[in-house]
């Protein structure tokens, strides 16, 4: 019988959650939902020196905003609790001891100075990558080189020590990656990693393997940066006797800078003018502020849709997917091997598509909120109509107010570029008649307004295109925008007449005899 699919996202609370981490969480979540499995979140906080206050809450809030639902976590509980590694500390030593007893790990008593001396010796000997391994371990102070009674004495007297994995000297370690195929690494390229630190806390490598086994994780989907550690993890599964239930691995391609030159780092976003974090982050130590997608006006569904396509594709022309559709279509086999360039313009495009697909009544909410902040009253019906007119012209919710302000505030400045070309005595004559005859319309709407303007233009022997830009300037102060007749319908006949009067007065110096 096949095992239930169980995946995990295991961030460390060392700062804000990078967009690459969100993508990792998303792909895990999609696989869980596709297969009817479980999505687990585990906080990997074994390195207490790197702990950052507020980081865990940030991770939780980010995933909630993204719509990535968790089945088991520190906050939801679950059958394999606790889900913070720091709270699981007592259980790791027994597995380290199991490795020592089976001859696959050993105690190492080397001081920091002795380790530095070892590295300097290797550098002087032109060793490319100095490391504590099958060769160098025999020159160091550990339970493989020291007499048994001395090892016992050191342990009983409380001498500081670490526990290291005993990596074989000549062995090929094979791993089948679901994205990259077979990965083979010679054991001589793997160092004797520390499994238990001198403070009694496990390192990532041991805790990760133990927790994935105990939590019955079936698939490990993680970033490419963990691929070099994968052979080490295979050895740990083997030595602990868990190779038969070892999860399948999939190492995701890197997210690259927009120019494709290197990995997208935490600092690149603000430098290049776009967020690399889902939410705004304020560093608790430096008070440095980093922008977030939520605060920049991205809709979470659009953000997720964009993120899903950074490394994966459905194999069709379809680009707009709901979370449910993404889960239905998602397969690890369609994740690419090579890095993906980050394209913020594509993220913007996704946001525009999601905004335009929303009902006008929902979009009106964004506008009404901004109007409230500016102490401007507006009926929901009017806001809905304005939102409908503006939605093709905005990329973010906050732009509704910025782009539609002229619906509520008459212009006080006019484009010199348009005025110098389009504002003339013929236009003023048409606008004067138009302003005076607006009051004659019994049914005031965009169609009747346009009919009135057309008839006045015919009397003056002019065409619509000759005055439209100048009329838009008078009514809105802008050079472009949605249908002008619709704008006039919304702002009303009296306000339109007042704005034409104001423009004729303000732009009189452009009128030539």
> What SS3 string covers 410-444?
CCCCCCHHHHHHHCCHHHHHHHHHHHHHHHHCCCC
Tokens of 328: 């239905």
CA dihedral of residues 129, 133, 139, 142 (deg, nearest 10): 140
> What is 6-73+206-255's CATH topology?
Rossmann fold (3.40.50)
* Its pTM surpasses 0.85: yes
Would the pLDDT of 488 be above 70? yes
What digits encode the pLDDT tens for the residues 297-317? 999 999 999 999 999 999 999
Q: What is the CATH number of domain 266-357?
A: 1.10.1160.10
Instruction: Please tell me which residue, 385 or 421, carries the higher pLDDT value.
Output: 385
Would the pLDDT of 513 be above 50? no
CB 11 within 8 A of CB 44: yes
Which pLDDT band, with edges at 50, 70 and 90, does 448 fall under?
Answer: very high
> What is 410-512's CATH topology?
Arc Repressor Mutant, subunit A (1.10.10)
Q: What is the CATH number of domain 90-196?
A: 3.90.800.10
Tokens of 104: 């696959």
What digits encode the pLDDT tens for the residues 164-194? 999 999 999 999 999 999 999 999 999 999 9
Q: Which of these is catalytic: 197, 266, 369, 450? A: 266
Report the candidate in 426, 409, 377, 427 with the shortest Cα–Cα distance to residue 476: 409
Strand partners, 341: 256
Please tell me whether 266 is known to bind a ligand: yes
Q: Does 266 participate in catalysis according to the annotation?
A: yes
Report the candidate in 339, 352, 343 with the shortest Cα–Cα distance to residue 301: 352
Segment (H or E) for 59? helix 55-66
Would the pLDDT of 248 be above 70? yes
């Amino acid at each position: 019988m096949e095992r239930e699919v169980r995946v995990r996202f295991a961030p460390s609370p060392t700062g804000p959650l990078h967009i690459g981490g969100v993508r990792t969480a998303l792909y895990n979540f999609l696989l869980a939902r596709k297969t009817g499995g479980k999505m687990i979140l585990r906080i990997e906080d074994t390195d207490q020196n790197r702990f950052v206050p507020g980081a865990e809450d940030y991770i939780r809030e980010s995933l909630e905003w993204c719509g990535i639902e968790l089945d088991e976590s520190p906050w939801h509980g679950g059958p394999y609790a606790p889900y913070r590694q720091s709270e699981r500390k007592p259980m790791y030593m027994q597995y380290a001891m199991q490795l020592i007893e089976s001859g696959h790990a050993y105690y190492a008593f080397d001081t920091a100075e002795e380790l530095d001396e070892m590295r300097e010796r290797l550098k002087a000997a032109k060793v490319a990558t100095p490391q504590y391994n099958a060769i160098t371990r025999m020159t160091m102070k550990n339970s493989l080189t020291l007499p048994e009674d001395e090892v016992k004495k050191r342990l009983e007297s409380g001498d500081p020590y670490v526990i290291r994995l005993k990596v074989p000297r000549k062995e090929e370690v094979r791993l089948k990656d679901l994205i990259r195929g077979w990965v083979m690494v010679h054991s001589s390229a793997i160092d004797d990693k520390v499994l238990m630190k001198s403070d009694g806390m496990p390192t990532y490598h041991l805790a990760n393997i133990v927790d994935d086994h105990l939590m019955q994780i079936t698939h490990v989907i993680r970033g490419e940066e963990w691929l070099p550690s994968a052979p080490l993890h295979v050895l740990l599964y083997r030595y602990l006797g868990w190779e038969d239930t070892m999860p399948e691995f999939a190492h995701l391609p890197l997210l690259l800078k927009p120019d494709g030159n290197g990995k997208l780092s935490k600092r690149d976003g603000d430098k290049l003018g776009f967020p690399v974090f889902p939410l705004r982050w304020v560093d608790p130590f430096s008070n440095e502020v980093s922008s977030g997608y939520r605060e920049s006006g991205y809709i979470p569904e659009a953000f997720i849709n964009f993120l899903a396509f950074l490394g994966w594709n459905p194999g069709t022309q379809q680009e707009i997917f709901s979370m449910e559709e993404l889960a239905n279509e998602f397969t690890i086999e369609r994740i690419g091997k090579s890095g993906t360039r980050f394209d913020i313009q594509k993220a913007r495009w996704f946001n525009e598509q999601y905004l335009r697909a929303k009902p006008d009544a929902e979009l009106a909410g964004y506008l009404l909120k901004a109007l409230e902040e500016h102490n401007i009253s507006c009926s929901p019906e009017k806001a809905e109509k304005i939102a409908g007119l503006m939605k093709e012209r905005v990329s973010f919710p906050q732009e509704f107010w910025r782009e539609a302000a002229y619906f509520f505030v008459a212009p006080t400045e006019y484009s010199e570029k348009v005025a110098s070309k389009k504002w003339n005595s013929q236009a003023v004559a048409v606008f004067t008649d138009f302003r005076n005859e607006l009051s004659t319309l019994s049914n005031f709407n965009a169609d009747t307004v346009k009919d009135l303007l057309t008839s006045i233009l015919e009397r003056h022997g002019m065409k619509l295109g000759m005055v439209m830009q100048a009329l838009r300037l008078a009514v809105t102060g802008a050079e472009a925008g949605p249908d002008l007749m619709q704008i006039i319908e919304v702002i009303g006949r009296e306000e339109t007449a007042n704005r034409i009067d104001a423009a004729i007065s303000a732009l009189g110096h452009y009128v030539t005899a």
